[in-house]
């Protein structure tokens, strides 16, 4: 990414929007500030080079003006001496120096415009950097507070879920205990019922054996009752 493109992105950036997308606002704020500081260093370096270039252009322009003035003086001298040929040559050199001066002045104007833009960028970056530094602590505190509140909410939620499940387990165990008691009574009743039928069957067998015994002793078949 070019320096001036990055400057524009930083100046136009919305710090809150960047933080909304961040997983770690502490880290993001530090990165934003670091990016601003690095870019500010680059812009200042570019401005320093531009100022040096401006000084060189001004020096060369002053030299071109002096040269043009000198060729003008020589042309006038040649005319006064009747040397039109030398006057023409001097005026040609003067024109060349004036053309060079015009080019230097155009470069100077462009450089001045660039320096003005760099000055505006430096001012904007300094403002953004100061704002980010001032808000760094408050943003960090807001993030920590929100994170703590979220953890509390999550813990309370987990405790409620765990408590609800625990109460359900407790009531299920109570119900199983009650059902066990009911089944224990049924088991006891079932055993008594089996015993009664067993007693009836035993009585029948005893009666059959008694009838058979009587029949044998009487010498006749036993009559079925």
pLDDT of residue 1: 44
Per-residue pLDDT reduced to its tens digit, 158-196 = 566 566 666 666 666 766 666 666 565 555 555 566 676
| Residue 92 placed within a domain | yes
Alpha helices in the chain (DSSP H): 3-12, 15-20, 25-80, 84-218
Please state at what angle helix 25-80 crosses helix 84-218, rounded to 10 degrees.
Answer: 170
- Give how many domains the chain has, as a whole number: 1
| Residue 37 placed within a domain | yes
| Residue 163 placed within a domain | no
CA distance 225 to 36: 117
Which tops the pLDDT comparison, 104 or 197? 104
| Residue 100 placed within a domain | yes
| Residue 168 placed within a domain | no
pLDDT of residue 28: 74
| Residue 103 placed within a domain | yes
Q: Which residues lie below 8 Å from residue 33, measured CB to CB, with a gap of 6+?
A: 129, 132, 133, 136
* Domain ranges, residue 90: 3-148
The pTM of the full predicted model, rounded to 2 decimals, is 0.51
CB 115 within 8 A of CB 47: yes
| Residue 41 placed within a domain | yes
pLDDT of 150 higher than 80: no
pLDDT of residue 133: 80
| Residue 26 placed within a domain | yes
CA distance 19 to 15: 6
């Amino acid at each position: 990414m070019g320096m001036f493109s990055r400057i524009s992105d930083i100046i136009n950036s919305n710090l809150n929007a960047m933080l909304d997308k961040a997983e770690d606002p502490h880290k993001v704020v530090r990165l934003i500030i670091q990016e601003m500081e690095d870019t500010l260093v680059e812009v200042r370096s570019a401005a320093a080079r531009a100022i040096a270039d401006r000084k060189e252009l001004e020096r060369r322009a002053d030299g071109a003006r002096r040269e043009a003035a000198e060729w003008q003086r020589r042309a006038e001298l040649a005319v006064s001496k009747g040397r039109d040929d030398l006057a023409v040559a001097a005026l040609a050199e003067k024109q060349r120096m004036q053309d060079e001066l015009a080019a230097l002045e155009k470069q100077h104007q462009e450089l001045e415009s660039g320096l003005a833009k760099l000055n505006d960028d430096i001012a904007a970056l300094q403002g953004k950097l100061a704002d980010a530094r001032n808000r760094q602590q408050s943003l960090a505190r807001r993030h920590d507070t929100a994170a703590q509140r979220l953890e509390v909410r999550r813990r309370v939620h987990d405790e409620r879920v765990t408590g609800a499940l625990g109460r359900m387990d407790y009531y299920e165990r109570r119900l199983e205990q009650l059902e066990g008691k009911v089944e224990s009574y049924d088991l006891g009743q079932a055993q008594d019922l089996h015993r009664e039928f067993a007693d009836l069957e035993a009585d029948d067998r005893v009666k059959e054996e008694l009838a058979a015994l009587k029949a044998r002793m009487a010498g006749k078949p036993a009559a079925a009752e």
